Amino acid sequence: MTKDSKRIIFLADMQSFYASIEKAAHPQLRDKPVVVAGDPERRSGVVLAACPIAKSYGVTTAEALWQAQQKCRHLVVVRPRMETYLRVSVQITRIFESFTDLVEPYSIDEQFLDVTGSVRLFGDPWRIAEEIRRRVRLETGINSRIGIGENKVLAKMACDNFAKKREEGIFWLKREELADTLWKLPIEKLFGVGSRMKRHFHRMGIYQIGQLARMSPAVLARRWGVNGEVLWRTAHGLDNSPVSLQTHETQKGIGHHMTLPRDYHTAAEIKVVLLELCEEVCRRARSKRLMGSVVSVGCRGADFDAPAGFGRQLKLPEPTHDAMTLYEAACRLFDRHWQQTPVRSVGVSLEQLVPDNVVQLNLFTDTHRQRSLARALDDIRARYGQDAILRAVSLLGAGQARERARKIGGHYK
């Protein structure tokens, strides 16, 4: 047996996380079809979470709210409360940490656990999974599902493809049983295969995971490079990555993206949002003591059937975390590539990051004064709120800074 095969890894997923929290907080919603979505009053935004009752009407996560309401006329729509969800996520992490110190957040409602060393303390893996589910249900009111495997890939696919469909909410996916379990599933059920890759595989006549698993990895590598080899390894349940508290590689970029409440048609409107995004990106860069030398700008329209927009980047003369410097570069990209089409989403990112103490002095600009002013603004916002001090353009109709200050991760606190 290899070292990797001796590991026991869990992927714990919280069922309909946001909706489950709302039902636990409001017992009168227990038997109602509940979704958590953007703005119930304006019927705008997308469904962030749907409870099992809502899903029985065909409501799906990520669909437009108005479409969900057409499927279920008596749908109960709850505005998201991100601060509450983050607090419950931390509470669940603490439960996991009472079983193992190797807990890796995968998302707000999914976490990997390495319980290899916990078996001698708490019993066999299945028993540990049952106790974790019991604790989470008792202390938060949320149902959880747990996939078990000898590595993270197997645990993830065990949870997504099997545990979620079983009454006990637990499934152990073993490599020696893949031919009778995982390989019989459609190709899109393989971790890492999205809708685009699914279409590629279908054009090749590959419809099941087993067909991919039986192919030569060299053939897949020639066609898709490293990604092809990774998918072959995934189909065979091969993965050596550790469960680690350090969940992210060294940060390569800092970005911020915003979906607008309506189509923006004029350059003046869009540039208001560009400035707000540049301010937010640079604030985050300064908080991490980083600067970047590449700016990326992306704009997209609202028609997903006929997508319009652009995504471009520009190399800056020197690293910066100054909002106006970033904004001027972003405007150059925008003026050069925008084709006068309506815009519904805008994004700005700062890349090729370096520590902010690695900067050449510029004899023609007062860098120290710019930095001091930016730090003062950061301190005011940190103390009194992000909307405590705003640029005048943010008070115009196109401005989104005040509304964004009421949110976490784009959703209401």
Binding-site entries for Mg(2+): 13, 109
Residue keyed to tokens 């279409």: 199
Provide the total of helices (H) and of strands (E) in the chain, helices listed first.
Answer: 15, 14
Residue-by-residue DSSP string for 157-216 = HHHHHTGGGSTT-EEE--GGGGGGTGGGSBGGGSTT--HHHHHHHHHTT--BHHHHHTS-
Q: In terms of DSSP bridges, do strands 110-114 and 103-107 run parallel, antiparallel, or are they unpaired?
A: antiparallel
251, with CB counted inside 10 A (0-12, 13-18, 19+), is exposed
Q: Among candidates 59, 62, 40, 39, which has minimal Cα distance to 51?
A: 59
- Cβ atoms < 10 Å from Cβ of 141: 15
Which H or E run includes 134? helix 125-140
Structure-token pair, residue 62: 């990520």
Q: In sequence order, which residues have a C-beta less than 8 Å from that of residue 43 and are 6 or more positions away?
A: 65, 66, 69
Cα atoms in the 13 Å half-sphere on the side-chain side of 117:
7
Could you give the C-alpha distances from 282 to 128, 232, 278, 377, in angstroms and in order? 45, 40, 6, 12
Buried/exposed 162-193: b ≥16 CB within 10 Å, e otherwise: bbeeeeebbbbbbbeebeebbbeeebebbbeb
Question: 348: closest CA among 396, 312, 315?
Answer: 312
22 is catalytic: no
Q: What Å distances lie between residue 306 and 138, 221, 288, 340, CA to CA?
A: 48, 32, 38, 15
User: What is the three-class DSSP state of 254?
Assistant: strand
Catalytic residue chosen out of the listed positions 110, 150, 276, 280: 110
Pairing of strands 170-172, 144-149: parallel
| Active-site residue list | 110
